[in-house]
Amino acid sequence: MVTSVLSGLLTAALVVFLPRAVGSTWTDVGSVLGRISVPSLLALTIVWIAGLWAHSFVLSASLPGLTKRRGLTLSLTGSAVANVLPLGGAAGTALNFAMVRRWGFSSVAFGGFLAVTTLLNLVSKLGVIALALALMPILHSASAFGSGSLLFIPVPAVVVVCVWILADERAAAIVGAALDKPIGVFRASNLAVRIPDLRRSILRIVRSGWRPMTVGMLAYLALQLALLWLCFQVLGVALGLPVLFTALAVERLLTLVPITPGAAGVVEVGTTAALVALGGDPAGVAAGLLLFRGFTYLMEIPVGGLTLAIWLAAQRRRGQDRSELEALAG
């Protein structure tokens, strides 16, 4: 309870002080947000839904037998829980596990699904960050980020380790054994065995579904960039694609920092500061980023909550029908 309250206060504080952090005011930000029209909101909603649908291809390929509709249900409900609770990813995973088991999938199948989707999401984020890092000297001036670009330095190392583990089982055992030592100080660990086992499970699923996974993830990332671009376009804030791609990379990086639910507040302040550093107008970039996060973070809470309510109602109805059938049979 205390953690939830503190996390909520930190999120609110970060969002409230967002304009001031980048040299603007809420009056100026609100003036920019006031430019949006109903048709623009409809267009943004369509792009947002298209992105979720593209990601459902990744989810269905990660759990053979899972339909895209159910994959979308898992995505929305899991995100809704994760975006509300501190460290809510675990609670969202537990909810998804209960749903998958109700649909008849085994716990082993869900374990493989979780491993693959977690890895794909991590790799996709690191891929965007690594590409932005590689293009930074070409697309931006050397002084655009200054010391802030140091945030990206660990990314290539993580990418190399991930590729090394997937390419060589011995590497998985070596990394697992290396992690066992510090973790073993606090609790028993057997990652030297578990990571190679996890590697084999991941590769087995990826071999059979890599095509829809790849297409779905690339389409999802492209639609995320399109949504970010459109958020600024409908507000009349002119930013080039190189700047927006870098902003997307910063946003992907900051979502890996689970200080608050869904990294709310952290993402808004950090990404807006990056856009201002790249020459954006403080009020315009703050408004555009808030609009983008309104779809990719805030919108998922009520939509995911409604989806969960519908699913629970359907489960109760099926339970009642089953009870009635058993009573008639008896």
Look at residues 326, 330, 247 and name the one whose alpha carbon lies nearest to residue 293. 247
Does residue 201 lie within any of the structural domains? yes
**Paired tokens of 112:** 């493989």
| DSSP state at residue 296 | I
Look at residues 255, 199, 247, 194 and name the one whose alpha carbon lies nearest to residue 225. 247
Does residue 98 lie within any of the structural domains? no
Look at residues 60, 13, 43 and name the one whose alpha carbon lies nearest to residue 231. 43
Q: Distance between CA 125 and CA 167 in Å, rounded?
A: 20
Q: Residues of the chain with pLDDT > 70: what percent?
A: 85
What pLDDT sits at residue 10? 58
Does residue 314 lie within any of the structural domains? no
Does residue 93 lie within any of the structural domains? no
Sign of CA dihedral 312, 313, 315, 316: positive
Instruction: Report pTM.
Output: 0.84
Does residue 250 lie within any of the structural domains? yes
pLDDT exceeds 50 at position 118: yes
Does residue 160 lie within any of the structural domains? yes
What pLDDT sits at residue 2? 46
Does residue 214 lie within any of the structural domains? yes
Does residue 167 lie within any of the structural domains? yes
**Paired tokens of 122:** 């991590």
Report which listed range, 114-118, 168-172, 214-218, is most confident. 214-218
Residues contacting residue 36 through CB under 8 Å, at least 6 positions apart: 234, 235, 291
- 45: three-class secondary structure by DSSP: helix
Confidence bin at 1 (pLDDT 50/70/90): very low
Domain that includes residue 57, residue range: 18-66+105-298
Confidence bin at 195 (pLDDT 50/70/90): confident
**Paired tokens of 191:** 């990652």
Q: Which helix (H) or strand (E) holds 114?
A: helix 107-139
Cα-flanking dihedrals φ and ψ of residue 22, to 5°? -110, 10
pLDDT exceeds 80 at position 217: yes
Mean pLDDT value across the chain: 83
Look at residues 122, 121, 307, 126 and name the one whose alpha carbon lies nearest to residue 216. 121
**Paired tokens of 174:** 């070596």
Question: 198: burial class by Cβ within 10 Å (0-12, 13-18, 19+)?
Answer: buried
- Pick the residue with more confidence: 79 or 323? 79
CB atoms within 10 A of CB 57: 22
- 190: three-class secondary structure by DSSP: coil
Task: Report pLDDT digits (tens) over 148-194.
Answer: 455 555 666 777 777 788 888 888 888 888 887 887 777 777 788 88
Indicate the number of domains in the chain: 1
Confidence bin at 226 (pLDDT 50/70/90): very high
